[in-house]
Structures are given as C-alpha cells and as structure tokens.
Amino acid sequence: MRTPVVVAALLSSLSAGLALAQAPAQPGLKWSDEQIQKTAHHVRAGRKLTPKVWPNGARVAVCISIDPDNFTIPLNAGNVNPVPISLGEYGALEGLPRMLKLLDKHSIPASFYIPAVAAMLHPGMIEEIRKRPRHEVAIHGWIHENPMTLDDPVDEWRMISQSLDLLEKQWGRRPVGNRNPSWTMSTHTIGLLKKAGLLYDSSLQAMDEPHEVLLDGQPTGLVELPVNWIIDDSPMYGPAGDFPSPRMIANVFRDDFDEAYRAGSMFMVTMHPHITGQRSRIRQLDELIVYMKSKPGVWFATAEEIAKYVKQQAGLPGTASQPE
Amino acid sequence: MRTTVVLVAIVLLWIAGSAAQQPPARPDNQPGRKWTEQQLRENSGHVRAGRSLNPKVWPNGARVAVAVTFNVNNSANQLARGDTAVVAMTGGEFGAAQGLARVLELLDSHQLPATFFVAPVAASVDPQMLPEITKRKGHEIGVLGWSDEDVVALNDAAEEGRLLKQAVAYVTKAAGRPPVGARGPSGAISLHTMPLLKANGILYDSTLQARDQPYEVLLEGQPSGIVELPVSAYINDYRFLTSARTGPGLLPSPELVFEQFRDEFDVAYEEGTLMVLTLHPHVVGMRSRIIYLDRLIRYMKGKPGVWFATGEEITRYVKQQAGS
C-alpha cells in the first residue's frame, strides 16, 4: 500500500527533472499578446537622428570602429591554451600597430572598443592610441563577457563600472561610449548604460541610421550608432568566416558605403586588429579608405563626435544646445 | 518503525523533487570574469611571445625568408580517433598516393627546399613517403605529433611525452638524423608541450601565431630558448580548401585563397620578415590546386631577394644573429 506511494513520489520527481531537461523550445507560442508586446518592445529603435546635414556640409559620416579583443574571449571561457592565446596576442603585437600606422597615413580618426582586461594585459595599446588624440577609446565589456547568458545585473554593473574606471585611468578621459561584447545584451544592459551616464551605444541593429534608444517604450536620450554583422570583418573574413575572401567582402563594404553616401546617413564598419591587422587583410582597409576619401563630402569621425553632433542637432536633452 | 522509514523516504523524495524543480545549476562557462588581475596574468601567461628574432638582414642580403611547409598527416588523425570510415580514409590516402608526388615534383622543378612535418603514423601506413622526401637533399623532416593527435583534448603530460618521444625516434630512424622542428599536431599545443619539446632536443616550434616575425617563446614569463616560426590561419590551405573527406572547405576557390597568400607574401616582403606557408599534400596536391601553388612560387621567385629555406635553416640563422 505504502510502496506505491513511494514509487509514485519517485516517478513524479523523476518526471519533474525530465520536464526541465526538455523545456519547450518555443515558449513564446503560448505567450499572451501583452507578454509578446512587452518582450518585443523592451529595447526598440526610437526616432531617427540622421541630421539634415553633416558638419561642413558633408554628405555622409564614416566611423572606422576597431575592437582590440585580443585573447579575452578564450581567457574568459577559461581556455588558456597556447594557440588561442597566441592568436589573440597577434592583435596587440602586430595587428593594432599596423592599423594605427594605416590610420596615421590617411590622417583619419577611429573609435576603439577595448575590453578592459585586454587593455590591462597589453597597456601599450592605449598608450599608442593616446599619442594620437583624434582617436576615441570606449568600453567593450570587462573581459568580452556575454552578459546575456550571465543575466546578472549586479555582476554586469560591476563589470561596466570597472571597465570605465580602468579605461579612464589608461586613456586619461572617461569613455562616453559602449559596444557590448559579441553584440549581445542582457535585458538589464540599456538601463545600466543609462545609469553609467553614457552618451551612446553601438551594438544594436534595427536601422542603418543613428537613432535614439527606447527602453520599455520610453525615450532614453541614449544615442544608438548601429552596427551590422555584414559590415564586420570577423564573421565575414576571419579564418572561420562565412566567406573568408577579403577581396570579395571588401566589395560588400564598399557597396554598403555607397548606399550610405547616396542616402546621406552613416557608415559604421567594425574591424579587429587580430583579423584586419593581418598581412592579407590590411590592404582591404587601405583600399576602402582610399575609395571613401576619393568622394567629396565624407566626414570621418569618431563615434563620440557623431553621437554628440546628432544629439545636438536633434535637440535631445543633455546636449549643449538644450541643457537637461 | 516501517512507517518512519517510509515517511523519511517520502520527505527525502520530496526534497529531491523540489530540488529538481529548481533550475539546474549550470557550469559557469565564463570563469575569467571573476579572476583577479594576478589570476588573469598567470592564466594568460603560460606560453607567450617573447622578443622578436627577426634579423636585420637575411642571408645574402635577402629581404624576406619564405618557409614552404607541409603537414603530412593524411589519415593519421582519423586513425587517432579510431574512425574506421573507409571512404574518408581514402581522402587521406590521396596525400600518399598522388598529392605528395605532385608536390615533390613541383619543388624539384623550382629547386625549392621545403619542410615536411610528418605524423609517424601516416608515414608507417605509407612507408614509401619518407624515402621519397629524404632522397632529395635539401628538405627537412619535422614532427607532427605521433598520429596528428589533439594534445589539448588528451590533456595528459605523460602520454603526450610518450607519443612525442616515439615520434622523434621514428623520424630519427627514417630520416637518419634527429628532427629539430615540431608543429603541434591538429594545430594545437598543450601547456605541457613546450617543456616536452625542449626535453626532446627540438630547437623550434611552428604552431603559434602571436607575430608575423620569428620570436622566442616565453614559458611562464621566462625566455625558453625555443624559437617560434609562427604560422597563420590565413596562410594555411586546410580550412579554406579542405579535402573531400571533410567537405569542400570554407572558401573552395583556389584563386581566392592563393590571392590571399600572395598578399601575405607582399606585406612580408615589404616589411622584411618571414612567411611560413602551411600546406597539406592531400589538399594542395589536388590537380585544381597544385597549379595555383606553382603560380605562387613563380610569383615569389620573380622578386629579388627572397630566401627560400627550411624551418631549420631559418631557426639556426635567427638564433645565430640574435647571439643565442
């Protein structure tokens, strides 16, 4: 009599475990309309901030953005094996110097999104960037962590604050911009970026144009300078990229620029020193810059300069023209 | 008494059941974010790039050194994995049955020395290979593990040491002299590898990728005396043009692949450093690829001041120039 009870209890606890192991993969199909709307509208694109005209009558704004991640991704994952460490270190030892030299040759600015641990372990990077005041340094996670899978606002805030402090110490200025590692965000991120008082983010992908970020339907004042995986060297012509031919992909980048130029908006390209800084890839960046410079009315700027300009033109709160 | 036992059992099961309803504790796959600065430095500092060993000038006033290297692994890794797949095995056999002869003929026609990193298991399956290489004077034989095993996955210093010793003995016997060069089998090296290489009389490694230039390997921050002739995932035929046994590769256009190799060479030439080209007889030895290797060699030979050398010759030269 009692044995069946025990067996039943055993079975029910087993089935609870099984149900967990096989959680339904498409829970959204059972959500109410309210849940769907709330989730979809948590972080959305607000109004467009492309100005009527760019500084000095330019037609397009171009930001060369560079993410010196080095070996932070394997290190964060606990992978300390020599080959992945060496692959990342290439960025600091060869890639970044080569890219800085190229930017010097063309006298154009760039924005550098640096994981704080990468800056800690190779302090020479920001030292070199600092010698060139036209460049910007901004945050890119503490150790290129993935805040989405962590889903821990306390830990995330710790890492954002530590990153801002470390980069401020090395760069001499407190960064005003953010790019989330691997372009992943938790549902806490935008709120935390606001709390940190940042001017802009550069991780979202809802538009080609600069726009304001809405958080739960409310304007945040945070400027978004959107990115896209198809104008990023890593998924395209990194060694395991989808189409690792720098020449073919450079055509895609140039077409993207042409369309930005025609539309008068913004072109934000993302590159990594351990990829584009390679000998077989640096030429593509050189040729892209030469091409863009050949057109009249191209404003090469840091993301910070672009964000400040569009914010002020749009009269968003917190800008010089309209104090909060 | 029995009632008590049953009750205790039910309570225990209830606890087990409610524990099962908690989200299962997942392993933390981002441990690095919680490490202290000291831990970050230690964990990323086991095997690192030391001083550059790029000489002021290459022999006979050459501008650049080029090492054409081949990984002769054929089906060794498949055998290490205990995979008996018959057709896949022939994909590796291609290296011995056709690819190597084609490669050797091409090298003969250009009178070029090359370095062959050989997995002894591949050599023992097709014992005609090594005599074909050694009967031509000028080529070098290095080791590629015992069976192109993955030493990181193995994670066993004693077993890795046993395999390396066995490999060195095999090559010593087959080539008539002990090998001085090693390349990490399966493109990996473990935290045990470098000390094992030293203990086995190896002068140089060619697996890491932290620089374009030859460099000294640091072990736990200390100069090791081991010369690194760095490779690059961007100058390796394998991922781009993998053989039929693993599919068509990421960029199955030899034209697009070899144009990148040529770009790598151009920058190496301009900067006066080193290019280590990594190829596989069962990949580049295919008819549609060998013609591009021929063209690349012609292109490089068309420039003045290119020193084609084995890994050993380059290592001895840079060591002597650096006074070590």
A173-226 tens-digit pLDDT: 999 999 999 899 999 999 999 999 999 999 999 999 999 999 999 999 999 999
Q: Is the model's pLDDT at B10 over the cut of 60?
A: no
> Is A13 in contact with B17 (CB distance < 8 Å)?
yes
CB contact under 8 A, A280 and B240: no
Phi, psi of B222 (to 5 degrees): -105, 140
Which secondary-structure segment (H or E) carries A111? strand A111-114
Q: Is the model's pLDDT at B16 over the cut of 90?
A: no
What are the tens digits of pLDDT across the range B267-295?
999 999 999 999 999 999 999 999 999 99
Give B 43-82 residues with CB within 8 A of chain A: 43-44, 46-49
Tell whether B115 lies on the interface with A, counting CB pairs under 8 A. Answer: no
Phi-psi region of A45 (alpha: psi -120 to 50; beta: other; left: phi over 0): beta
- Give dist(CA A134, CA A237) in Å, integer: 28
Helix (H, G, I), strand (E, B) or coil at A63: strand
Q: Is the model's pLDDT at B246 over the cut of 60?
A: no
Interface test with B, best of A279, A281, A284 (most B CBs within 10 A): A279
Q: pLDDT value at position A320?
A: 43
- In this complex, the residue of A12, A279, A280 whose CB is nearest that of residue B17 is A12
Over residues A81-106, the mean pLDDT reads 98
Q: How many helices (H) and strands (E) does chain A have?
A: 14, 10
CB contact under 8 A, B240 and A93: no
Over residues B1-25, the mean pLDDT reads 53
What are the tens digits of pLDDT across the range B156-197?
999 999 999 999 999 999 999 999 999 999 999 999 999 999
CB contact under 8 A, B49 and A76: no
Interface test with A, best of B8, B10, B14, B33 (most A CBs within 10 A): B33
Is the ipTM higher than 0.85? The answer is: yes
List the one residue out of B256, B259, B240 whose CA is nearest residue B248. Answer: B240
Quick one: tokens of A186? 């938790």
- Give dist(CA B259, CA A245) in Å, integer: 9
> Is A88 in contact with A292 (CB distance < 8 Å)?
no
Q: Is the model's pLDDT at A15 over the cut of 50?
A: no
Q: pLDDT value at position A1?
A: 39
In percent, the amount of chain B with pLDDT more than 70 equals 91
The nearest CA of chain B is from the CA of A255 a distance in Å of 20
Q: pLDDT value at position B12?
A: 53
Helix (H, G, I), strand (E, B) or coil at A267: strand
- CB pairs below 8 Å between A and B: how many? 168
Q: Is the model's pLDDT at B7 over the cut of 90?
A: no
CB contact under 8 A, A75 and B46: no
Largest CA distance in chain B: 96
Over residues B59-84, the mean pLDDT reads 97
Please, is B108 exposed, middle or buried when counting C-beta atoms within 10 Å of its C-beta (0-12, 13-18, 19+)? exposed
How many other C-beta atoms are found inside a 10 Å radius of the C-beta of residue B153? 12
Q: pTM of this prediction?
A: 0.90
When the pLDDT of each residue in chain A is averaged and rounded to a whole number, the result is: 92
Could you tell me how many residues make up chain B? 324
List the one residue out of B86, B162, B176 whose CA is nearest residue B130. Answer: B176
Encode A117-132: b = buried (16+ Cβ within 10 Å), e = exposed.
bbbbbbeebbeebeee
Q: Is the model's pLDDT at A12 over the cut of 50?
A: no
Over residues B298-306, the mean pLDDT reads 98
Helix (H, G, I), strand (E, B) or coil at A78: coil
- Give dist(CA A220, CA A205) in Å, integer: 17
CB contact under 8 A, B48 and A280: no
DSSP at A58:
B
> Is A182 in contact with A146 (CB distance < 8 Å)?
yes
Tell whether B12 lies on the interface with A, counting CB pairs under 8 A. Answer: no
Find all residues with CB under 8 Å of B39, minimum gap 6, and list them: none
Q: Is the model's pLDDT at B144 over the cut of 50?
A: yes
CB contact under 8 A, A16 and B250: no
Q: Is the model's pLDDT at B3 over the cut of 70?
A: no
Quick one: tokens of A178? 């953010």
For residue A80, the chain B residues in CB contact (below 8 A) are 43-44, 46, 191
Determine the residue of chain B that is closest to A97 in CA distance: B211
Quick one: tokens of A127? 């030292």
Quick one: tokens of B213? 């230039």
List the one residue out of A210, A219, A214 whose CA is nearest residue A48. Answer: A210
For residue B189, the chain A residues in CB contact (below 8 A) are 81-83
Over residues B67-87, the mean pLDDT reads 95
The pLDDT confidence band at residue B24, using thresholds 50, 70 and 90, is: low
SS3 track for chain B: CHHHHHHHHHHHHHHHHHHHHCCCCCCCCCHHHHCCHHHHHHHHCCEEEEEECCCCCEHHHECEEEEEEEEECCCHHHHHCCCCCHHHHHHHHHHHHHHHHHHHHHHHHHCCCCEEEECHHHHHHCCCHHHHHHCCCCCEEEECCCCCCCHHHHCCHHHHHHHHHHHHHHHHHHHCCCCCEECCHHHCCCCCHHHHHHHCCCCEECCCCCCCCCEEEEECCEEEEEEECCCCHHHEHHHHCCCHHHCCCCCCCHHHHHHHHHHHHHHHHHHCCEEEEEECHHHHCCHHHHHHHHHHHHHHHCCCCEEECCHHHHHHHHHHHCCC
Helix (H, G, I), strand (E, B) or coil at A246: helix
Q: Is the model's pLDDT at B303 over the cut of 90?
A: yes
Query: Range with the lowest mean pLDDT among A22-26, B87-91, B212-216?
Result: A22-26
> Is B208 in contact with B199 (CB distance < 8 Å)?
no
